[in-house]
Structure formats: structure tokens, C-alpha cells
Structure 1
Amino acid sequence: MAPHAEGTPEPAVPNLGLVRAQLAAAASSVSGPQRAKEYLDLLERSPRALYRDGGPVHLTASAIVVDAPGEQVALVWHRKGEFWVQPGGHLEPGEIDLELAARREVAEETGLEELERVGDGPAMLHQHDLSAAFGRCRAHWDVQYLLRAPAPASAVPLRASDESPKVRWVPWPRRPGRAGRDLSALPAGTVADLPETLAALARLVDAQR
């Protein structure tokens, strides 16, 4: 937990019942029950790990956003990290809903709203270490949702933002006559772990076709 000056009260932690329920639901995600337990244990040890000021290891929320046919995925250019990645980020102080935080980030970074959640809760819990460019943040324990746009990508324009100056739909089609999805269209500079994430989530997208 981040240190506080002597005599300064520790920031209040809101009721985390909803967050705990969302993480418990993630036991059935592609990352499995053991990963969900790790997240719950982190919050038990340090409730403020829900927020950026909760220490060098803390939670974030993001979303893999696909178009209605499930053939395109929305990516944003992360200014600080200098890579293509799914929209997402830290929870704001006082936020106590991981899904709403992910949806807020998607709206801020791409302009997309009114998206359908695929599945009953988080699609994946993903832990990744960070470079020195991220300052005091050393690892993000990301809660990733899978969201679907209401129409094909051609009818759903994306909007860039100050934080994400470039946004784009990237083809993610099924392989003709073969199992799995084609990731060859991912742009140069895509964050290294995104192909693995997309491969793991492909079956969830295909199940909803």
C-alpha cells in the first residue's frame, strides 16, 4: 500500500462486495478459478489495491471489444506504453464496479457505448508486469471483459482521444476450414500478450455467433 504522511488519514475504502462478486464470477472465465482466488486474496490483503494508489501491484479494468459478427476487434494506441492494446485503465477513486469501469474506459478511449457483454462476467483475469515508463506501477492485475458492438465494424466508427490518439478496428476472422482465428492482421507494435489473450477468447466469441 502506498505510504501516507504521518497524521494523514488512510483513504477510505468503499464497500467492495460487488467487486468481490465480480471476481468470484471470474472463476468460470478462461483464466480459471485459481487466478480468481489470487485476485480475491490480493483485495483481502490490501483493499486499496482496487485503485492506483493501492501499491505497485493493483487492479485495472479493460475490455476486448468485437464488432457484431465477431470478425473485428477494436484496438487503441497507448501513448505511454507506445503499443496497440485493448481499451482499459485504472478505476477512478470511489468506483466499485469493474464492468462499469471497463465500459467507461471503452467509451473514453473509443467513443463506443451500449455494448453487449459476452458471458456472465469477466472473460479473463490477466496479470502483467510494467516497464519504468509506468512510474510507480509495477504490475497490473487486469480484469478483462468481452464486449460486442451492435453492428459490423464498418457501421461503428471509433473516436480517438487524448489518451489514445489512434484507434482502429483490426480484422480477426475465423480461419477458413480450420480451427481458431487469424491474428496476422494485428498491427506492428501490438502489446506482446494480446495475441495469447485473443486466442483464449476466440471460443467465447464463436460460441455467441
Structure 2
Amino acid sequence: MVAESPRGDADDWTALHADAVAVLSGWAPTSPDAAAARARTLGLLDAGPISMAREHRAGHVTASALVFDATGTRVLLCLHGKFHKWVQLGGHCEPGDRTLAGAALREATEESGVTGLRIDPTPIDVDVHPVACQGGSLHHDVRFAVFAPAGATERVSAESEALGWFPPDRLPHPLAGGTARLVTPGLAAFRRVCPHPAS
């Protein structure tokens, strides 16, 4: 019987790392900023599976999601409990995550309390930004579009001060940097995946 690796061991991250390399290597960036962030993130992934873990001080890959309602006319954002800005749902990957899309869907479900979410496995953006993790690090955040079922009811988690649904063209303030640029590629994903939205 093979013993499980301790939390944070590189062996825990092998499948997720392989998925990240495959997804980003084959992805067509949605903006010049996303292209630059993709190149930086592929460079980070050269460090191996440890680049998925928050303990990697040089930077680590995270996953987030812009959640659309069933009509595509509202997005769900959280007022983050630590930096007090409105932002898409998401965060750190966990050793049990096998794919980036799976990590983003898990985070979106945990932070929204909404059941029955669906995800488009093709990213809509990549962003690199500084964070306070480990005394100062970088999040290489891979962002996805996620779709809520009709009648979805949100529930605030410990991560957030509040949750709110907003029209994509009227996002709240203060807004985290990079969140607004998710709207255009996110709506394109919504139209591709949900061509007949609920009314």
C-alpha cells in the first residue's frame, strides 16, 4: 500500500501541474495582458509541481471564476474579507484538485454556496499579481467562466464580507484590478456554452 504524500508535497500536485501546462500551452489568450501573463505562468510552471502550492514563495498558480446567472445578465462577485474589494470568486489550489477548471469550480461552489454550477474548461483570462502569501508572493491566476442554474441562491462564506449579483456593465466599487476585463471573454464563453439562456 502506498502512503499518501503529506499536504504540500510536490507529489500531491503532479496531475494538477500537468493539466496546467497542457491547458495554458494550448490556450489562445484573450488579450495582450493575458498573453503576457500566460507566458510568465508557463515560465513559473517550469519549476515543476511545487509551483501549484501556496508554499512556493516565488509564485503559485491559483484558479478563479466569473459566475454568470442563468440569463447571462448578471455576474456574482464577492466583497473580499481581507482586501475589501469586489472580486470574482476563487483562490488557492488544493492537493486534491486534478484540473485547473476543477479547482476553479470547487472554489466558486465553496465561496458562493450555489449548487449545480457548470464551468467552461477553457480559460477566459490569466493574470499575475502580487499578494501577501508567505510574506509576499505572486498569484498566477487562471480565470474561467462559470454558469449558475436558474433560481440559484448564494450564501456568504467565511472568505467574504458580502456577495452580490451585478450587471456586467455596472460592476461595483471598489473593484479589484483585472476583474472588469473578465466580462468580455466571459460573455463570449456564456454565448458559446449557453446559446439559449433561461429567461
TM-score class, shorter-chain normalisation, is 0.7 to 0.9
> 2:173 aligned with 1:188, yes or no?
yes
Partner Cα separation in structure 2 for residue 12 and residue 145 of structure 1: 25
Higher deviation after alignment, 65-74 or 89-98 = 89-98
The aligned counterpart of 1:73 is 75
The 3 A distance-change label for structure 1 pair 92 and 85 is: same
The aligned counterpart of 1:28 is 28
1:15-94 aligned at under 5 Å gives the runs 15=14, 16-25=17-26, 27-31=27-31, 35-94=37-96
Cα displacement (A) at 1:34:
5.6
SS of structure 2 residue aligned to 1:68: coil
The 3 A distance-change label for structure 1 pair 128 and 67 is: same
Partner Cα separation in structure 2 for residue 91 and residue 112 of structure 1: 19
The 3 A distance-change label for structure 1 pair 159 and 35 is: same
Pairs aligned (count)? 182
SS of structure 2 residue aligned to 1:52: coil
**Root-mean-square deviation over aligned CA pairs:** 2.4
The aligned counterpart of 2:10 is 12
Identity %: 32
Cα displacement (A) at 1:56:
3.9
Partner Cα separation in structure 2 for residue 23 and residue 192 of structure 1: 22
Partner Cα separation in structure 1 for residue 58 and residue 44 of structure 2: 12
Query: Partner amino acid for 2:107?
Result: E
Partner Cα separation in structure 1 for residue 56 and residue 138 of structure 2: 12
SS of structure 2 residue aligned to 1:160: coil
The aligned counterpart of 2:111 is 109
Say whether the 8 Å CA contact 2:37–2:140 is kept in structure 1. no
Cα displacement (A) at 1:144:
0.5
Cα displacement (A) at 1:135:
5.3
SS of structure 1 residue aligned to 2:129: strand
Say whether the 8 Å CA contact 1:46–1:54 is kept in structure 2. no
Cα displacement (A) at 1:156:
1.3
Query: Partner amino acid for 1:193?
Result: G
TM (norm. structure 2) is 0.79
Query: Partner amino acid for 1:63?
Result: A
> 2:128 aligned with 1:127, yes or no?
yes
Higher deviation after alignment, 66-75 or 29-38 = 29-38
SS of structure 2 residue aligned to 1:165: strand
The aligned counterpart of 1:100 is 102
Query: Partner amino acid for 1:142?
Result: D
The aligned counterpart of 1:7 is none
Cα displacement (A) at 1:159:
0.6
Deviation string for 1:33-76 (max 9, x for gaps)?
A: 66434322211125312110011421110001101221000001
TM (norm. structure 1) is 0.76
User: Structure 2 stretches of 5 or more lacking a match?
Assistant: 1-7
